Structure formats: C-alpha cells, structure tokens
C-alpha cells in the first residue's frame, strides 16, 4: 500500500454510500448504485507534485463519466495553523511529493479533518445513489431506531 492508498482509506473506509471499494495507486473505486461507480483520487491543481484536493468522478458503467467534482482541501479546511515558525500565517493544506516520497506538507490532518473531507464526498456521492439503495438505508435506519 502506498501513501495515497493509505490516506484514501482514512477518508473512505467508513463510507455508507461507496460499496465494494478497491484502492489502486492514487485512486479509490467503488459502487454507488446498480450501474453507477465512483472514482475518488488525489489531484494536483496546477502545481506539479502538489496534491491540493480530491476529484470524485461518477461513472455510468454503460455510458462513461457522468459528472465530476473537485474538492479542494482549502475549501474544506481553510488555511491551517502550522507548528512551524516558518509559517506564522498558516499553510494551505496539500500533499507534496518529493524524490518519490509523498506526505502532507507542514499540516497533518486529524481524525476530525478526515471526517469533514469524507462528509463532503459522501454528500456528493449521495446525489447519484439509486432510489432503491437510498430507500433501503432509510428503512434499515428506521428499524434500528425502533
């Protein structure tokens, strides 16, 4: 497992929407509905080797890519304080790859940060869920509450 796979697992493992997850390289693939799949991957936003967000693409098995959305870390988390005197004003969160090694640059997400990122992706994925799957989750939730 590489750094990106490990980070994607931190974000997507507990997903209530993305089923049958497979991790390959810098991407996570999974099932959203009967013919709907999703691809979630770390992407650069113009600066090589600087991954500033996650792109989520919705793929219809029969028709190809239907929609795509980029969630920038800065949109989810904003500028973050850093424990370094070199970044008194904080830092925009991103992953940096240098000499074949990837890691978070200065800022390191906590569990709550991963939850926020996951929630944003989940809201997007839920738009494309089949009505049957949504209904099944609601029915199961109601049974658990009773």
User: pLDDT of 81-138, one tens digit each?
Assistant: 877 778 888 899 999 999 999 999 999 999 999 999 999 999 999 999 864 454 455 5
pTM above 0.75, yes or no: yes
pLDDT tens sequence across 32-88: 998 999 999 999 998 999 999 999 999 999 999 999 999 999 999 999 987 777 888
3-state secondary structure the chain: CCHHHHHHHHHHCCCCCCEEEEEECCEEEEECCCCEEEEEEEEECCCCCEEEEEEEEEEECCCEEEEEEEEEHHHHHCCECCCCHHHCCCECCCEEEECCEEEECCCCCCHHHHHHHHHHHHHHHHCCCCHHHHHHHHHHHHHHHC
């Amino acid at each position: 497992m590489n750094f990106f796979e490990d980070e994607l697992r931190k974000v997507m493992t507990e997903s209530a929407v993305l089923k049958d997850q497979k991790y390959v390289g810098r991407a996570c693939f999974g099932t959203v509905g009967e013919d709907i799949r999703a691809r979630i991957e770390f992407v650069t936003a113009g600066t090589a080797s600087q991954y500033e967000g996650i792109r989520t693409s919705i793929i219809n098995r029969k028709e190809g890519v239907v929609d795509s959305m980029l969630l920038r870390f800065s949109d989810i988390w904003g500028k973050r304080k850093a424990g370094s005197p070199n970044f008194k004003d904080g830092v925009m969160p991103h992953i940096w790859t240098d000499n074949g090694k990837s890691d978070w640059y200065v800022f390191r997400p906590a569990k709550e940060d991963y939850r926020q990122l996951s929630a944003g992706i989940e809201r997007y994925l839920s738009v494309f869920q089949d009505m049957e799957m949504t209904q099944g989750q609601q029915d199961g939730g109601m049974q658990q509450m009773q």
